Chains A and B, each alone.
Chain A
Amino acid sequence: MIRFEHVTKIYPGTSSPAVDDLSFTVPTGEICTIVGPSGCGKTTTMKMVNRLIEPSGGDIYVLDERGELRNVLEMDPILLRRSIGYVIQQIGLFPHRTILQNIGTVPQLMGWDEARIRRRAEELLEMMNMSLEYLDRYPHELSGGERQRIGVARGVATDPPVMLMDEPFGAIDPINRNILQNEFLRLQREIKKTILFVTHDIDEAIKMGDKICILNAGGILEQFDSPAHILSHPANEFVEDFVGADRALKRLNLVRVEEVMDSRPPLLQATQNAEEAIGFMSERGLRFAYVIDADRTLKGYVRLRDLKGKTGWVDEFVEPAATAILMGTSLKDALSGMLVVDYANVCVVDAHNRVRGLVNTEMIHRAVVESESEKSADEEGEE
C-alpha cells in the first residue's frame, strides 16, 4: 500500500505549488498510474515516495515487507530507497557493468553473497523470457526492449513490495511498447507489487492502471478512480477532455474477450461426416461451425452452403480461419482483428490453439452499451 496524506510540494523560489494537497491510497498489489499534462507534477509526486524529492508538507506512508505501514519521512532515505523498486524511462543501466552486475545492484548493496545474486539474476532473466547468456553481456549489446526488461528485472531484484516506475516504456517504439506492457501486466499478475506508474499517455494509464490518478497543472488531483469509472464517469470537464472524445471506445480496452465470449461455440469434429454436420447446423439455425481435432485444436470452419448435398468427411470442406483471437485479448484488439479480416464472428483460442469460445460484433456492442450503465454499479459492489 502507498498512501498520500495532504502531500504538498513547493519548490524553493516558486510561489505556486508543484503538488497541491494530494491525498490518495494505492491498495496493496495494484498498479496506480499517475497521468496528466506536462508540468502537472506527476514525476515530482512519484519521487517524493522514495524521497528523491522531499515533500514540503503532508505525509507519505508505505507498507514495508513486514506488513507495517511506515512514514517514509521518518525513514533513512538510503534504506528507504533500497526497499523500493525503481525503474526510470531512460532505464539508467550502468554501462560499465554486466547485466548480472546491473541486476545485482540492490542485492549487492544489501549484502547478498555472489551465488545468491547470480541465482536471483538467473531467475529474473527466466521471468523476462531472456536467455541466461545475457548475464555476462553489457547494456550496449542489448536492444532497447531488452534493456527495458533488464531495467524492470533490476527494479524487482530484491522483491520489494512497492515499486516506482517513471514512464518505463516511454522511449520504446509503439509495437515493442505494446509487447512490454502486456508482458509486464502478465508479470504483475504473478508478483503483485504495489506500483506507482507515471505516464503522460492516457491510453497507457488506462491499460496499465488498476487505479488512475489524473493530475492537472499545479499538481491538483482531478480524479482518482478505476479506469472503467473514469471513462464512464469523468469527474469534470478537464478529465473528460483529457481522456478524449473516444472514451467509449477506450472502454473496449478494459474488457477482455473471455468476459463477453460465448464459451460454447458450435463445434464439429473433423472426423464427423457431412450429413451429420448439416444436421447439426440446421438444427441450431447456424450458417457455419468451427472444426476441431480430437484435442480441441482449431482446424478451421465449415459453411452450411458448402456442405449442402455433399457427402464425405467434414475435414474435406474445412476452410482455414483467417484469424483467431487469443484469450486475454482486449475487446479493442479483438474488434480491430475482426475488421481487418471482415469477420462478424471470430473464434477465441488459448495459447495452444485450442478453441475456448466465440465472439461476435454483437457481443462487443452489447459490452460497450452495458458498461455505461452497469460498470458503476459493479465498481461500487466491489468496493
Chain B
Amino acid sequence: MKEEVSFLQRLRRLTFGDILGWTVIPVLMIIVVILVYNQLLLAIEPESMEANIIGSREIGFKNVLDATAEHVRLILISTGLAIAVAVPAGILITRQGFRDFSGLVLGVANVGQSVPSIAILALFMGVLGLGATTAIFALWLYALLPIVRNTATGIEEVDPNVIEAATGMGMTPRQILLQIELPLAFPVMFAGMRTAAVINVGTAALGAFIGAGGLGTFIITGIPLMRDRMILVGAILTAVMAVLVDWILDKVQDRLVAPTARA
C-alpha cells in the first residue's frame, strides 16, 4: 500500500485510546520492576541486617539480570524451535493426502498439552539429564500444540471461494499456499505463537527444578530458605515478563497483520 503519512500527521491521528494502549502496560511494568528493585535495596534495613545482607548478596542486581537473560533464552529457543516444527506440521495436515493425519497429530499434541509441565520435566530428566536442554525440550513440546492447531485452523478457515477462485485462475498449489492461504491464515497462526510464548514464560519458571536457571531459581531457592523477598522477586519478575511478552507480541501483531484481515 502506498500511503504516505508524515510523522506529524500520524501523531495527530493518535487517539487517547492509542496512547493508553501503548503506554499503560510498559509504565505499570516499569513501576513494578522499580518496586522489586527497591525491595532488594530495602534488604539492607538495620533491624534485620544479618539475614538480609545474605539475601541482598544472593539476589544482587547482576544475579537478577543473569536470571532474566537465562529465562529469555529458554523461551526464545524453545518457542523458536516450536515454530520451526509446528508451522510446517500444521501446513502439512491441511494438505490433501495428509488430512487424515490431522486428527492424529492434533490428538498427540493435545495429550502432550494435558500432561502437567512438571511431570514432563520429571519424565525427560531421566532421559536427557539435568539442565537447560531438558527444560528447552519440555517447553518446546508445550509450545507445539497451540501453534500446530492454529496453523491448521487458520488455513482451514480461509474462505473456500477464495481458494476456488485462485485455483480457477491457474495458481499452482504452492502459489496458493504462499500467496493466499498463509497470508490469510497468519493472524490466527500468530495468535497461536503468542499463546505458546506466553505460556512458556510461566512454564520456564519450573525449569529451575532441574537446574535450567531462569527466574524460577529465586522461587525454588527462596522456598526452603523461607526468604519471602527472594520468592517475590522471582514470582513478580516472571509475571512481569509474561505480561510484557504478551504486550510486545500484541503490538507486533498489529504491525504485521494486514489491515484487511482485521476488518
Name A residues whose Cβ lies closer than 8 Å to a Cβ of B: 50, 52, 78-83, 86, 88-96, 98, 105-106, 109, 136, 138-140, 154, 164
Contacts and interface: CB of A to CB of B under 8 A. Distances in A.
B167 A81 contact: yes
Nearest to A110: B170
B72 to A, nearest CB: 32
A74 B24 CA distance: 64
Contacts of B163: 92
A140 B263 contact: yes
B259 A86 contact: no
Given A96-B260, A105-B166, 11 more contacts: A81-B168, A86-B169, A90-B159, A92-B164, A93-B162, A95-B184, A96-B184, A136-B3, A138-B260, A138-B263, A140-B260
Contacts of B260: 95-96, 138-140
A200 to B, nearest CB: 17
Contacts of A52: 164, 167-168
Interface in B180-227: 180, 183-184
Interface string B138-161: 000000000000000000000101
A37 B250 CA distance: 50
Given A109-B175, A138-B259, A92 B170 contact: no
Contacts of A81: 167-170
B185 to A, nearest CB: 10
Give the size category of B's interface with A.
20 to 34
Interface string B227-263: 0000000000000000000000000000000111101
Contact of B169 (A91, A96, A98, A106): A106
11 contacts: A86-B165, A88-B168, A92-B164, A96-B260, A96-B261, A105-B169, A105-B171, A136-B1, A138-B259, A140-B263, A164-B168
B63 interface: no
A159 B235 CA distance: 66
A92 B161 contact: yes
A115 B1 CA distance: 16
A109 B161 CA distance: 19
Which among A90, A91, A98, A136 has the greatest number of chain B C-beta atoms within 10 A? A90
B165 A106 contact: no
Contacts of B168: 50, 52, 81, 86, 88, 164
A170 to B, nearest CB: 12
Given A95-B261, A98-B1, A88 B161 contact: yes
A109 B167 contact: no
B170 A94 contact: no
A91 B165 contact: yes
10 tightest A-B contacts by CB?
A92-B165, A82-B170, A81-B170, A90-B161, A86-B168, A92-B161, A138-B260, A140-B263, A92-B162, A96-B258
B10 interface: no
A305 B146 CA distance: 86
B62 interface: no
A83 B161 CA distance: 20
Contacts of A154: 169
A136 to B, nearest CB: 6
Contacts of A98: 1
A91 B183 CA distance: 19
Contacts of A88: 161, 164-165, 168
Contact of B170 (A95, A109, A138, A164): A109
B12 interface: no
A83, A93, A164 — most chain B CB neighbours (10 Å)? A93
A104 to B, nearest CB: 11
Contacts of A109: 169-171, 175
B162 A95 contact: yes
Contact of A106 (B170, B184, B261, B263): B170
B260 to A, nearest CB: 4
A264 to B, nearest CB: 51
A96 B179 CA distance: 10
A163 to B, nearest CB: 11
Nearest to B180: A94
B13 interface: no
A94 B259 CA distance: 13
A95 B184 CA distance: 8
A93 B159 CA distance: 10
B172 A78 contact: yes
Interface in B43-72: none
Nearest to B183: A96
B258 A80 contact: no
